[in-house]
């Protein structure tokens, strides 16, 4: 017998979805209006302008794709890449591998430049690959690897790519609103993100932005984009400026209310303040983890504040700890992915979830559960260390 | 200065999105939980089982695609079709043309079998095309053409396709929950729908169902599916039975709460009762339109109850009437699409919007506005005729 589903109130400190602000949930539930309604079209224009702020770009083609971030990734690849192209894909985790998949499904050749999981992409390796592959016209990399918590120096990577006459495709799924990201200043030609990380919004949409060079490239394709749904030549007609819109697909109206509200909250807080907030709570979390004797996988200089990959201590059962945290504390932290499965926990501090009460809850719960399962840790000192990081 | 967006309370009687039930909006706004949370996984299983009921199918692969119906359409085509295939596409409106686009973007050949806009697809023409194209292995057609309001005899079309050893791909975007649809009994091999029509749910998801023959075909493809996001070989791992899920993409958690609730409402009402309801209110709407002297485009035997294409009287300004209805009555009706642009209005009676109060509001508002803009009609007689259709 199926009845209405009433989810519990979890605290989401995994790799995403992260906690959604009550303001956003409330916007989400407002009455649905038509996707061609003049008031909705006006709201779409506001979403575009707020996204430009979040991405720090003047790109006209800055829109949310009506599907999750993996579709945003695909939007970048299927629109820019044609069969026979060569694409340098820098890979240091799960999402670089997914980029490779995308390239190959476009009938193009992916040249993989690999770095260790948990490390940034090495700009020197990129430059070497570009020298070795003079036919490459695209460079793709992940700014903030959600699978490991490593950040890559996006500006340097874009500079190098441009020196070799390549367009850049950048994954900013976890970085948007969580750490500094300047799409225009850093020269990202195409970038995609998600709504379920540092934007404090529900999962299901993928903000993307394309500069003029990318748009020109798309307009001059020799072949049709292989996806009708993601073909930006058609999507641009729908998200174009002003009241005259060409019907393409039915926009996810309520999800866009939510995104509008979350972007507005970001604007109210200010990007710099949001970036600082992620850093502050990351430092406190780190102090607590240190006191628990837990190590972060990523070296300090390459570490994301919003995604903390923590090495699981020997003898501790990964799944058991996560299950207790979920059942007894309503606290979700993430498992490891790929080669890190079973070896790390991923603790997210993203958007609305990135708060002092959550940091204290997480550190305190981890201390208690580790004590419970076998690994004795000093609870009192842990909390003192965490609070000290807040200057208390 | 951008502020929170507060949409008005419209009555949505266009081609979709249609009115969303308050129960569904309330479910939508429940707290987000993780997309791999055991409780969420359990809810996903319930969504699958409720979708099987709505589609009248036992197909295991019955899931909502995490994107609008155009992505559901694309899911069917990119998974089933390979370059070089021949596909018969029956076309009697906008969405058949979109099917053709999909086929061609798969590198396959589309043989277009055309019928007039506003008419059903002619099974005899399909049979002739199959005789003339013995290499065809797929037949695609639209069950309920949202652009015109015509219904096609899906059972007969599927029977013919199977006699010629073809798999069928059926668009049931507007038919699901609005008029009889038996995926198993009628032999649909792949079918896709949307949530924003007769399910009374928000736009943004696309329920699809594939039978064993279709799944076998997908498993035996020679080439990779060109879309990573829509590749059912990967999506199946995520929506597979039980607790062990492979991460593919982050599901649109809150949208799935909404779909769960809307499907539960459908189950509570009963499919037959929902189909009857659409028929009853369609008859009343038709009585009112008759009394206003407005004609339906589609002949009675090929007419959908939930989408009524009404010929705009000579001398009446299409856009003006719709604008007044929206401004003064908060009532949205749809414009014509394609060859019918400017020539018809599309009045939807879908899902939660398919109610007596909406029929009366719509007929009454149309009568008043037509009087206002030039075309004198008798308001009192119109309402009497509409009420008489309800037996009053």
Does B250 contact A102 at a Cβ distance shorter than 8 Å? no
For A361, the token pair is 């809850």
**Is some CB atom of chain A closer than 8 A to the CB atom of B43?**
yes
When pLDDT is cut at 50, 70 and 90, the band that residue B212 belongs to is: very high
Tell which B residues from 165 to 204 touch A, by Cβ distance under 8 Å: 194, 196, 202-204
Residue of chain B whose alpha carbon sits nearest to that of A253: B203
Amino acid B186: pLDDT = 98
Residue of chain B whose alpha carbon sits nearest to that of A97: B228
**Is some CB atom of chain B closer than 8 A to the CB atom of A37?**
yes
Strand order of the β-sheet with B109-114 is B61-65, B206-210, B190-192, B167-171, B138-142, B86-91, B109-114
Q: Tens of pLDDT along B300-320? A: 999 999 999 999 999 999 999
Regarding beta strands B344-348 and B138-142, do their DSSP bridges make them parallel or antiparallel, or are they unpaired? unpaired
B251 CB neighbours in chain A (<8 A) are 68, 203
Tell which B residues from 125 to 144 touch A, by Cβ distance under 8 Å: none
Does A26 contact B25 at a Cβ distance shorter than 8 Å? no
Q: Name the residue among B34, B73, B252 with its Cβ closest to that of A10.
A: B34
**Is some CB atom of chain B closer than 8 A to the CB atom of A249?**
yes
B25 CB neighbours in chain A (<8 A) are 29-32, 254
Amino acid A241: pLDDT = 61
**Is some CB atom of chain B closer than 8 A to the CB atom of A226?**
yes
Q: In chain B, list all ranges with CATH 3.40.640.10.
A: 21-267
Q: How far is CA B187 from the centre of its chain?
A: 19
Q: Choosing among A8, A13, A34, A318, which should be mutated to test the B contact, i.e. which has the most B CBs within 10 A? A: A34
Q: Name the residue among B2, B31, B71 with its Cβ closest to that of A229.
A: B71
When pLDDT is cut at 50, 70 and 90, the band that residue B242 belongs to is: low
Q: What share of chain B in percent tops pLDDT 90?
A: 94
A249 CB neighbours in chain B (<8 A) are 68-71
Radius of gyration, alpha carbons of chain B? 21
Tell which B residues from 73 to 102 touch A, by Cβ distance under 8 Å: 73-74, 78, 98, 101-102
**Is some CB atom of chain B closer than 8 A to the CB atom of A253?**
yes
Does A33 contact B7 at a Cβ distance shorter than 8 Å? yes
**Is some CB atom of chain B closer than 8 A to the CB atom of A2?**
yes
Cβ–Cβ pairs < 8 A, chains A and B: 246
Architecture category of domain B271-389 in CATH: Alpha-Beta Complex (3.90)
CATH number of A21-267: 3.40.640.10
Radius of gyration, alpha carbons of chain A? 21
Q: Name the residue among A229, A251, A337 with its Cβ closest to that of B203.
A: A251
Q: Choosing among B13, B201, B204, which should be mutated to test the A contact, i.e. which has the most A CBs within 10 A? A: B204
Regarding beta strands A109-114 and A150-151, do their DSSP bridges make them parallel or antiparallel, or are they unpaired? unpaired
When pLDDT is cut at 50, 70 and 90, the band that residue B244 belongs to is: low
Q: In chain B, list all ranges with CATH 3.90.1150.10.
A: 271-389
Q: Angle, to 10 degrees, between the axis of helix A232-239 and the axis of helix A212-219?
A: 120
Our CA-based measurement puts residue B119 at a distance from the nearest CA of chain A, in whole angstroms, of 22
**Is some CB atom of chain A closer than 8 A to the CB atom of B247?**
yes
Does B250 contact A71 at a Cβ distance shorter than 8 Å? no
Q: Name the residue among A2, A26, A326 with its Cβ closest to that of B46.
A: A2
The SS3 assignment for A112 reads strand
Q: Tens of pLDDT along A190-224? A: 999 999 999 999 999 999 999 999 999 999 999 99
Does B252 contact A71 at a Cβ distance shorter than 8 Å? no
Per-residue pLDDT of chain A (392 residues; tens, 9 = 90+): 999 999 999 999 999 999 999 999 999 999 999 999 999 999 999 999 999 999 999 999 999 999 999 999 999 999 999 999 999 999 999 999 999 999 999 999 999 999 999 999 999 999 999 999 999 999 999 999 999 999 999 999 999 999 999 999 999 999 999 999 999 999 999 999 999 999 999 999 999 999 999 999 999 999 999 999 999 999 888 787 654 667 889 999 999 999 999 999 999 999 999 999 999 999 999 999 999 999 999 999 999 999 999 999 999 999 999 999 999 999 999 999 999 999 999 999 999 999 999 999 999 999 999 999 877 888 889 999 999 999 98
pTM, rounded to two decimals: 0.97
Q: What is the 3-state secondary structure (H, E, C) of chain B?
A: CCCCCCCCCCEEECCCCCCCCHHHHHHHCCCCCCCCCHHHHHHHHHHHHHHHHHHCCCCCEEEEECCCHHHHHHHHHHHHCCCCCEEEEEECCHHHHHHHHHHHHCCCEEEEEECCCCCCCCHHHHHHHHHHCCCCCEEEEECEECCCCEECCHHHHHHHHHHCCCEEEEECCCCCCCCCCCCCCCCCCEEECCCCCCCCCCCCCEEEEECHHHHHHHHCCCCCCCCCCCCHHHHHHHHCCCCCCCCCCCCCHHHHHHHHHHHHHHHHHCHHHHHHHHHHHHHHHHHHHHHCCCCECCCHHHECCCEEEEECCCCCCHHHHHHHHHHHHCEEEEECCHHHCCCEEEEECCHHHCCHHHHHHHHHHHHHHHHHHCCCCCHHHHHHHHHHHCCC
The dihedral of CA A358, A360, A363, A368: what is its sign?
Answer: negative
Does B5 contact A27 at a Cβ distance shorter than 8 Å? yes
């Amino acid at each position: 017998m199926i009845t209405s589903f009433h989810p519990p109130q979890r605290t989401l400190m995994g790799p995403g979805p992260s906690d959604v602000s009550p303001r956003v949930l409330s916007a989400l539930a407002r009455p649905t209006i038509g996707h061609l309604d003049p008031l909705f079209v006006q709201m779409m224009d506001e979403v575009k302008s707020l996204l430009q702020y979040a991405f720090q770009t003047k790109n006209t083609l800055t829109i949310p794709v009506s599907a999750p971030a993996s579709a945003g990734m695909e939007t970048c690849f299927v629109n820019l890449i044609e069969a026979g192209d060569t694409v340098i894909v820098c890979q240091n985790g799960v999402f670089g591998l997914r980029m490779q998949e995308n390239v190959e499904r476009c009938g193009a050749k992916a040249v993989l430049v690999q770095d260790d999981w948990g490390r940034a992409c090495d700009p020197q390796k990129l430059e070497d690959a570009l020298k070795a592959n003079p036919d490459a016209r695209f460079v793709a990399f992940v700014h903030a690897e959600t699978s490991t918590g490593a950040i890559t120096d996006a500006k340097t990577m874009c500079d190098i790519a441009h020196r070799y006459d390549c367009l850049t495709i950048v994954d900013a799924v976890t970085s948007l609103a969580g750490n500094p990201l300047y799409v225009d200043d850093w020269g990202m030609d195409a970038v995609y993100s998600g709504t379920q990380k540092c934007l404090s919004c529900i999962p299901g949409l993928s903000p993307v932005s394309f500069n003029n060079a990318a748009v020109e490239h798309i307009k001059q394709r020799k072949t049709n984009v292989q996806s009708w749904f993601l073909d930006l030549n058609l999507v641009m007609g729908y998200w174009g400026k002003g009241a005259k819109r060409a019907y393409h697909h039915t926009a996810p109206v309520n999800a866009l209310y939510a995104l509008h509200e979350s972007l507005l909250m970001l604007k109210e807080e200010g990007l710099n303040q949001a970036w600082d907030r992620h850093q502050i709570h990351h430092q406190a979390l780190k102090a607590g983890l240190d006191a628990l004797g837990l190590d972060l996988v990523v070296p300090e200089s390459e570490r994301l504040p919003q995604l903390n990959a923590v090495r699981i201590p020997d003898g501790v059962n990964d799944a058991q700890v996560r299950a207790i945290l979920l059942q007894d504390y309503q606290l979700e932290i993430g498992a490891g992915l790929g080669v890190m499965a079973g070896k790390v926990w991923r603790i997210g501090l993203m958007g609305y979830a990135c708060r002092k009460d959550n940091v204290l809850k997480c550190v305190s719960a981890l201390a208690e559960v580790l004590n419970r399962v076998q690994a004795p840790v000093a609870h009192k000192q842990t909390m003192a260390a965490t609070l000290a990081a807040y200057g208390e």
